Amino acid sequence: MRIGLTCLPRRQRNSAVAGWLILGYVLLTLAAGGAIAYVIGAGSVLTFLALGQGDYLAILPQRMFSQLDVFAFLAMPLFILTGELMNRGGIAQALIDFSMSIVGRLKGGLGHVNILTSVFFAGISGSAAADAAALSNTLVPQMQRQGYTLNYAAAVTAASSIIGPIIPPSIILIFYGALMNTPIAALFAAGVLPGLLLAGVLLVVNGIAAHMYDHPGGKGAELPPLGPSFRKALPALLLPIIILSGVLFGFTTPAESAGIAVFAALIIGFAYRELDASKLRLACERTLMLLGAIFIILCAISAFSYITALAQWPQKISAFVVDLGLSKTQYLLVLNVVFLVAGMVMDVKAAVALLAPIFVPVAIGMGVDPVHLGIVICFNITVGLLSPPLGGVILIISTVTGANYWQLIKATFPFFVVEIVLLAALVAFPAISLALPTWLGLMPGQ
């Protein structure tokens, strides 16, 4: 017995040292550009061995497949395919023309058009990366020709692309809802008002910048006629309404709405005469590539979530929070810092899948509404796409437009600040997120 007691602390010390070494390996490998799925998967397996839980690895494959066997995940590839079809089907230019006919006469009109187009585009693609890539190719050169600097045109495009993951249908909200067993319809409804508020504050910042730097635009601007531009954009504008009305009013599941969206995107693309067999093939290939990347991350995360459950890390974090005496507000502040930093350096879906199973149960246990928490986390982590050192959206736009990365970071900073302020408001006032899902009767337990 004496020998066993003397050996136990040594085992614990060895496990702690091994844990820190594994954490160091994961961070260094990620910093070196290692594939996230492989790094997390390997780190999780090593953690099983370091904690003496190697026997549980035998059922890890079954755990992975059960993690992927979630009906809600079916909506994700279909919405990705919808976005790819619409990107290649001439929809971006139709939305730009319609937005120009509405706000083009305002000072800084093309900046307003950029933001308004992102609102319309968000209801189709659900992805910040898709929004950024599409509008970088179309609006940024057009803004430069009108007299905007490259850095400002790219910055407003980057800032407005964050609207995409917030206004439904959102890939990240589907991902979070399926992962954390939160109703996706409620998350969709909860994202509408924050997304529109985000667009509103960006329009204000762009308007202020337009008068400060004398951006072009105003009464003399040449605009597309409202009627023809509206008729051309109408099919695309109806698509988000079709998707959301079915989900929010209970006529369809998110997966069924996604299937309808794919069918409608095909019809719209062919009607615009922009979609053909080659573009359809490219859209399918791109969807499969993205889907493969997402699901291999999910497999790695399932291994990580398994070891966190075995090691009882959420319970230990909860106990640590209790020992520190953190209030609900203080814990939410800590959680937001963690996810904001994660969004700066990690893939959005990987960060959600890696961190949410650890930190979210503690917040819910403290009385935070899971739907409100989902919006806050998804908003938070997408804002991280505008921040160094990686800034995923910044990297995409810098690559597409040729803008200097660090100058683009500087130009984006005012937009980043107001998005952080809006995030703080969403944390402080849950009613902003919960008003619409509550009114529609979509909240859990209603």
Map 113-160 to HEC letters: HHHHHHHHHHHHHCCHHHHHHHHHHHHHHHHHHCCCCHHHHHHHHHHH
Considering the chain, what percentage of its residues have pLDDT values greater than 70?
A: 79
Tell me how far CA of residue 55 lies from CA of 166, 189, 307, 375, in angstroms.
41, 43, 12, 38
Q: Which amino acid is at 208?
A: I
- Domain chopping of the chain, boundaries: 1-69, 72-293+381-439
Mean pLDDT, to the nearest integer, of 280-300?
79
SS3 166: coil
Give the predicted TM-score (pTM) of the model.
0.73
**Confidence bin at 431 (pLDDT 50/70/90):** very high
Q: Residue 8: what pLDDT?
A: 40
Cα dist from 432 to 103, 375, 438, whole Å: 26, 10, 11
Answer for the pair 434, 190: CB distance below 8 angstroms, yes or no: yes
Q: How confident is the model at residue 347 (pLDDT cuts 50, 70, 90)?
A: low
Q: Which residue has the higher pLDDT, 320 or 12?
A: 320
- Compute φ and ψ for 273, nearest 5 degrees: 60, 30
Q: Measured between alpha carbons, how far is 83 from 266 in angstroms, rounded to an integer? A: 11
3 pLDDT exceeds 50? no
Q: What is the dihedral sign for C-alpha 259, 260, 261, 264? A: positive
Please state, in angstroms and rounded to a whole number, the distance separating the CA atoms of residues 202 and 303.
40
What is the structure's pLDDT at 6?
43
Cα separation, 266 vs 86, whole angstroms: 8
Helix, strand, coil share of the chain (percent; to 5):
80, 0, 20
Residue with the bigger pLDDT between 415 and 98: it is 415
Contact predicate 116/294, CB 8 Å: no
Which spans in 312-347 are helix H? 313-324, 328-345
Positive or negative, the CA dihedral 217, 220, 222, 225 is positive
Q: Is the pLDDT of residue 93 over 80?
A: no
Which residue blocks in 69-108 are alpha helix, DSSP H? 75-88, 91-103
Least confident of 21-35, 155-169, 184-198, 427-441: 21-35
Q: How far apart are the C-alpha atoms of 113 and 111, rounded to whole Å?
A: 5
Per the CB < 8 A criterion, the answer to whether 382 and 118 are in contact is: no
Question: How many Å from the N-terminal Cα to the C-terminal Cα in the chain?
Answer: 55
Q: Quote the pLDDT of residue 267.
A: 84
